[in-house]
């Protein structure tokens, strides 16, 4: 295994068909880090954020994940400014169900009328006629799950959204939601250091869902200098972040990592993970290194 020295391309990560009919590159891009501190407000350098998004598309990324609450109302308009009119292969996933009252503050709201409002606003902010993948950002414990998913099903029938996904849920919640509508994806915290969502990943594999791990690099803990992956990365001529992402891609064909960054350099490094070929021994060594 060696690091990639040519221009990286996300296509090397392979593809996954959301809902069986919407192909995306498995290595995608998450927009959360483009906003201000605390996922609040505008980016420090808006032009730089636009460059990163455009360069991601140039590097073959076709799957972009965002949310109404990133900013809030910052990440979605950034995507529109950077990539609209979208090429035919671009797939945008957005979310609703978390409200914001300040930096780092997230509160679930799953009332049907609110989810409908946010879906219609996302149409406007993204500049699309139909949202490719609309995800319930969090289950609101104050509202029956059937009512939350039921509203998304109505929006789907009306042509507002194409596919329905969920975020931070259990396998039981996915099973319950599937009684109301077809769920095609699940987005949970998962990375080499935190595999607590393993039962949800296994559910996704059994039922043909995409599994979208957020914080795929464990917010930097895995990839810092002197961290658990540093020695192995040096041995293989790759960066720690490339190893962490390559491990996810190898872990399951259902996994669609969405690393985010506000740096073109880091973006290129992340996309190059698509070319990293891990052996069984590499996978075992990485898993053991983090466990230790």
CATH number at residue 79: 3.20.20.100
Query: Has residue 2 been placed in a domain?
Result: no
Query: Has residue 4 been placed in a domain?
Result: no
Distances (CA, A) of 39 to 15, 42, 214: 29, 9, 14
Query: Has residue 5 been placed in a domain?
Result: no
Distances (CA, A) of 178 to 142, 166, 210, 287: 19, 11, 14, 33
- Count of domains forming the chain: 1
Query: Has residue 96 been placed in a domain?
Result: yes
Q: What is the pLDDT of residue 2?
A: 47
**Over the chain (292 residues), what is each successive 10-residue block's mean pLDDT?**
70 98 98 96 97 98 98 98 98 98 97 98 98 98 98 98 98 98 98 94 98 85 75 85 94 97 95 92 87 74
Query: Has residue 174 been placed in a domain?
Result: yes
Q: What digits encode the pLDDT tens for the residues 191-228?
A: 998 999 999 999 999 999 999 999 988 756 777 777 77
pTM of this prediction? 0.95
Query: Has residue 119 been placed in a domain?
Result: yes
Q: Residue written as tokens 């109505």?
A: 154
Query: Has residue 152 been placed in a domain?
Result: yes
Query: Has residue 162 been placed in a domain?
Result: yes
**Structural domain for 225, as ranges:** 11-291
Q: Which residue numbers are catalytic?
A: 70
Residues contacting residue 73 through CB under 8 Å, at least 6 positions apart: 121, 125
Q: What is the pLDDT of residue 121?
A: 98
> What is the phi/psi pair of residue 77, to 5°?
-60, -35
First CA to last CA distance, the chain: 23
The pair of structure tokens assigned to 92 is 């945008």
d(CA 240, CA 44): 26
């Amino acid at each position: 295994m060696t690091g990639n020295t040519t221009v990286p391309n996300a296509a090397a990560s392979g593809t996954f068909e959301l809902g069986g009919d919407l192909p995306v590159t498995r290595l995608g891009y998450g927009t959360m880090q483009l906003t201000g501190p605390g996922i609040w407000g505008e980016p420090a350098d808006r032009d730089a954020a636009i460059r990163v998004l455009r360069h991601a598309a140039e590097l073959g990324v076709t799957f972009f994940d965002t949310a109404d609450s990133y900013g809030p109302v910052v990440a979605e308009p950034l995507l529109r400014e950077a990539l609209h009119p979208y090429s035919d292969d671009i797939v945008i996933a957005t979310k609703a169900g978390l409200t914001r009252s300040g930096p780092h503050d997230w509160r679930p709201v799953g009332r049907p009328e609110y989810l409908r409002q946010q879906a219609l606003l996302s149409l406007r902010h993204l500049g699309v006629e139909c949202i490719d993948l609309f995800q319930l950002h969090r289950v609101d414990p104050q509202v029956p799950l059937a009512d939350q998913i039921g509203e998304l099903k109505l929006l789907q029938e009306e042509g507002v959204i194409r596919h329905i996904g969920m975020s931070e849920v259990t396998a039981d919640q996915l099973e319950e939601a599937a009684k109301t509508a077809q769920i095609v994806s699940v987005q949970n915290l998962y990375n080499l250091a935190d595999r607590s969502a393993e039962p949800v990943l296994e559910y996704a594999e059994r039922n043909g869902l995409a599994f979208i791990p957020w914080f795929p690099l464990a917010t930097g803990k895995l990839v810092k200098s002197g961290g658990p992956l540093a020695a192995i990365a040096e041995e293989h001529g790759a960066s720690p972040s490339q190893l962490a992402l390559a491990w996810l891609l190898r872990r399951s064909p259902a996994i669609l990592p969405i690393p985010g960054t506000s740096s073109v350099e880091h973006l290129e490094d992340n996309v190059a993970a698509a070319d990293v070929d891990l052996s069984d021994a590499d996978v075992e060594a990485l898993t053991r290194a983090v466990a230790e």
